[in-house]
Amino acid sequence: MKLPSTVVVETTEGSMKAAVSWNVKEASYKQSSTDAQKFTVSGTVTLPSGVDNDNKISLATSVEVSVNAYSAKVASAENNKITGIDVNGVYTTQTKISFTAVGAGMDNNSPKKGDTRYVPQSWTVINTNVWNAAPYTASFGLAQSGDYTLKVAFAQQQYDGSSWKATGTMDTRQVSFSIAKAKVTAPGTNLTPAANRKSSVKTGDNTPILPFVCILIIAAGAIGGVVFYKKKNKK
């Protein structure tokens, strides 16, 4: 309550400002009430330094106060949001999609009678899932490609002076998105290690091997003939 800290008093030297203390506690003001109020607040004046009250004039004073009715904070359904998922976003069958539902007025931590808010209640893609308390977040994945819509239902509540009560008013927000089939990367070719490969031993000479085999066979036959011939001569 913003009451004046000084009042004007008339002295023999003219008008002067004097401090005043207000007895707000004794007033009929009800701070918790949201209704219009009108009441009187009494106070006591403290004379400025150098001013004497020789005539014993009462230093009591009072002021009439009018308080307008409280204007309730009415949350707008337009401020209900779904965050964390892109509108018309494209995800894959391997994507884990996470999102958060943000209800209008949920940041009102000091509510007064008449205030309203929207509490996230449930969300649906294929099946409906219900939130019983904060945090209002969820994650899901889809195995089938196609077009989908995430819907979140918000329930309006009104503060009655002591607690939040459901009004029966609902609001729904939605986000459309698509699921594409995930691309599977083909595994790499499994090559046999070079150490295990079988191949002909190379000598560095490109001469065909078959003629050498024939020559060796002929040479062996010639040697056999020579030995046989020598043996016959000894007889």
Query: Does residue 135 register a pLDDT over 90?
Result: yes
Q: pLDDT tens across 187-222, in order?
A: 654 544 544 444 444 555 555 545 544 444 444 454
Helix locations, 35-134, DSSP H:
none
pLDDT at 12 over 90: no
Q: Which of 180, 199, 227 is the last residue of a domain?
A: 180
| Domain interval for residue 91 | 77-180
Q: Which pair of tokens denotes residue 53?
A: 């009250």
Do 170 and 103 fall within a single domain?
yes
The answer on pLDDT for 112 being more than 50 is: yes
Report the pLDDT value the prediction gives residue 190, as an integer from 0 to 100: 53
pLDDT, mean over the chain = 84
Mean pLDDT, residues 134-160: 97
Over the stretch 52-89, which tens digit does the pLDDT of each residue have?
888 888 999 999 998 888 899 999 999 999 999 999 99
Same domain, 99 and 137: yes
Residue 50 has a pLDDT of: 87
Asked if 127 and 82 sit in the same domain, the reply is yes
Tell me if 16 is assigned to some domain.
yes
The count of domains in the chain is 2
Tell whether 119 and 43 lie within a shared domain.
Answer: no
